[in-house]
Amino acid sequence: MPKSILRLGTRGSPLALAQASIVREALSRLDIGCELVPVKTSGDRIQDRPLAAVGGKGLFTKELEDALLRNDIDMAVHSMKDVPVVLPPGLEIAALLPREDIRDAFVSHHGACLADLASGARVGTSSVRRQAQVARARADLEIVSLRGNVDTRLAKLDCGEVDAVILAFAGLKRLGIESRATSVLPLAEWPPALSQGAIGIEMRSNSEHASVVRNLNDGTAAICLTCERAFQAALDGSCMSPIAGFAQFVGGILRMRGEVIAPDGSGAAEVTLERVLSGDASSEAAALGMEAGLKLKPRAEQWLAR
């Protein structure tokens, strides 16, 4: 029987609840029980406009963080790609779970990959990064801004509203519907959003439970996300900026690859740096990400929307 029952704040979508269940299961191994507390965020409420048109930061996190600061919940679970690089004072990401597959998935009834689609086919995605990547790969396709939960977007594909959709493969896997992926897009050509595939647990820094929850922190995920979030901070881009990238940590070597793509797919600026981590891994990872971002920024300034 768990010794503690904590309130775990989560968005109410099926994917968010699936991720919260993963966190709850991990916490149960620490003898901590959880009560799921659904919280509706601005990003959930605004469904009639593309996120890029809404603007602002923390569209999927602010209400959860406000609930934390009011002590309405004890923890919040996030998709880390939605979390701004600067957290409110008094809050911290106490733990990152082992990262899921970071790649994007192509889903269609009209071919195995983007190249198979007919000219003029409609591809649905609300991500400015994915829109730029589709435009770069196939300028002859029509890009349709598609909001909603994973099930909603797949339903629009199934009813013929669009001919293909591009989604995070991690989301399909966590929902148990990875078989819906027609193909998984290669990282070399389709780098993901920064922090894609990572689940984070946010808490008040002074929480009596934070020290226990920190035991869930996955070292490799923490190093890679520290690097990616430093890269994001250096670029100072917004949700309207088509930024892609990922860090990989293998054999003591951390490699950061990132790019900014012209919204119409007509160009891109890319950077790749690597470093052997030999001391304070977190500080060295942050330094590498910052260096990569600052190196890329002058060549990408024209595409970094504010």
By three-state DSSP, how is residue 276 classified? strand
DSSP string, 35-84: EEEE---HHHH--SS-HHHH--S-TTTHHHHHHHHTTS-SEEEEEGGGS-
- Integer Cα distance of 66 and 55 in angstroms: 19
Cβ partners under 8 Å of residue 201, min gap 6: 23, 75, 76, 77, 78, 93, 94, 95, 96, 97, 213, 216
Per the annotation, the verdict on 82 as an active-site residue is yes
Query: How crowded is residue 204: how many other Cβ atoms within 10 Å of its Cβ?
Result: 19
- Rounded to the nearest angstrom, the gap between the alpha carbon of residue 259 and the centroid of all alpha carbons in its chain is 16
Question: Which tokens in the block code for residue 150?
Answer: 């994973």
Catalytic residue among 74, 82, 104, 163: 82
Tally: H helices and E strands in the chain: 10, 13
- Integer Cα distance of 33 and 26 in angstroms: 10
Torsion of CA 285, 291, 293, 295, to 10 degrees: -160
- Integer Cα distance of 291 and 58 in angstroms: 25
**Known catalytic residues?**
82
